[in-house]
Amino acid sequence: LPPIGFAGDLAKDKLARLAAAIAKDGATHAVLTDPSSIAWAFNIRGGDVPHTPLALGFAILAADGSHQLFMDKRKFSRQVAAYLTQLAEPHGPGEFQAAIVALAKSGAKIALDPVLAADRLRMLVEANGGAVVAAADPARIPRATKNQAEINGSRAAHRRDGAAVAKLLCWLERQKPGSLDEISVVTRLEETRRQTGEETQMPLRDVSFDTISGAGPNGAIMHYRVSRATSRKLQAGELFLLDSGAQYQDGTTDITRTVPIGQPTQEMRERFTLVLKGMIGISTLRFPSGTRGSEIDAVARMALWKHGCDFAHGTGHGVGSYLAVHEGPQRIARTGTEKLLEGMMLSNEPGYYKEGAYGIRIENLILVTPAQEIEGGDIAMHGFETLTLAPIDTRLVQSDLLTRDELHWLDAYHARVLAEIGPMLDGETLAWLGKATAPLPHDLKQ
């Protein structure tokens, strides 16, 4: 049960707002089939899904507040059972279909999300005299627009996670090329996250997905998953791509960093810098209310396009609050039709992949900020706050490809990284971080 300090709102208050939304949709009931929505609405987390703290089940919410929850009661401690009984009538999952039929026979108007609900539910309702109201899951937008407690928790989680990643990157830079393989880096990173969590009294609950650890040509496989059979050594002259995340009770993280092993080629540095320009472009973007992810996706690609390059994935996905690391409905992609609202968290992760050679991706998580007036402008504009705090490898930056504003952003970001995670580090790692976040030489900015 997330304490109110993590959730920010009591479950009874969330459920009351959802009940009002159901009535506004013209329904008497709504079926929640998305475990993330159930977890958010009831302020519960579970362990049924690897790397995502979900409890599988269903919920039927009612406009009059007579909610029903369908989960295996063997999962509940006495405390959890008593808590949930105050919020909803508890049932086993096997009773869900009968409950739908009973409501339909009573003439209920049941809201089903056309994207999330199985067509079998629609058939059950209609066959038993009920009415189906096609309406989006009422929890999806409230869940996606984080409240202040969730935002504060995410900021804290990212400071902690950034310190762990910095420790890993410092250690990695000290290793001799060819001495490590992909799996050994994954193991070390998880140990570092676990240790950092213990030191800060906020334990690592899990990784948020299977870590992508790709050396050389494996890094060019966008959704690569390392195994004993495929694990490569980190060899001199190659790039190493590390995409990982963590689940803490106060937040979910997701970060990608690409680093050179030994001396990078000029092409590697050029392509890395083009990817960086796209990531900075999203980071510094201002946009009016009502803007959708599809309308800004090209910003992350413009520098690559000018050089005849692109990447074959979306620029960003939504992220949950100690929930799914891939959360809808918000995304930055050609298919991102949802409006970007204040409080939404997303990834910002352009990339470049040269098949058989190397992959590059730079990923930070970002938060949609409130719309603010711009001096001399006509319209208030949203922007993004960068949540992720870890150095971007400047050994791969070709500075003459960056504008003054882009160089300023990079220096300012690194100054913030040092200020926020530096106090969590000491000794060799702190000294390394000081060098890794140092401003680029002034003569490069002329």
Crossing angle of the two packed helices 119-127 and 96-105, in degrees rounded to 10: 40
The answer, yes or no, to whether residue 422 has pLDDT greater than 60, is yes
Segment 129-152, tens digit of pLDDT: 999 999 999 999 999 999 999 999
- Contact assessment for residue 126 and residue 132, using Cβ atoms and an 8 Å cutoff: yes
At residue 403, the 3 state secondary structure works out as coil
Q: CA-to-CA distance for 65 and 183, rounded, in angstroms? A: 50
For each of the domains in the chain, give its residue range(s) and CATH number, in order of start.
4-139 (3.40.350.10), 145-445 (3.90.230.10)
The answer, yes or no, to whether residue 227 has pLDDT greater than 60, is yes
Segment 292-345, tens digit of pLDDT: 999 999 999 999 999 999 999 999 999 999 999 999 899 999 999 999 999 999
Residue with tokens 């579970």: 46
Q: pTM here?
A: 0.96
The per-residue pLDDT for 441 is 80
Q: What is the DSSP string of 89-109?
A: EEE-GGGHHHHHHHHHHTT-E
The answer, yes or no, to whether residue 443 has pLDDT greater than 90, is no
pLDDT category, 18, cuts 50, 70, 90? very high
Segment 32-85, tens digit of pLDDT: 999 999 999 999 999 999 999 999 999 999 999 999 999 999 999 999 999 999
The per-residue pLDDT for 1 is 59
The per-residue pLDDT for 47 is 95
Amino acid making up residue 1: L
At residue 385, the 3 state secondary structure works out as strand
pLDDT category, 442, cuts 50, 70, 90? low
Q: How confident is the prediction for the chain on average, in pLDDT?
A: 96
The answer, yes or no, to whether residue 4 has pLDDT greater than 90, is no
Q: Which two tokens stand for residue 142?
A: 């409230």
The answer, yes or no, to whether residue 201 has pLDDT greater than 50, is yes
The answer, yes or no, to whether residue 278 has pLDDT greater than 90, is yes
The per-residue pLDDT for 326 is 97
Residue 435: name the closest of 123, 40, 170 by CA: 170
The per-residue pLDDT for 212 is 97
The per-residue pLDDT for 444 is 47
Q: Which residues pair with 241 in a beta bridge?
A: 214, 258
φ, ψ of residue 20 to 5 degrees: the values are -65, -35
pLDDT category, 445, cuts 50, 70, 90? very low
Give the pLDDT mean for 274-290. 98
The answer, yes or no, to whether residue 86 has pLDDT greater than 80, is yes
Give the pLDDT mean for 218-240. 95
Instruction: Please return the burial class of 405, using the count of CB atoms within 10 Å of its CB with bins 0-12, 13-18 and 19+.
Output: exposed
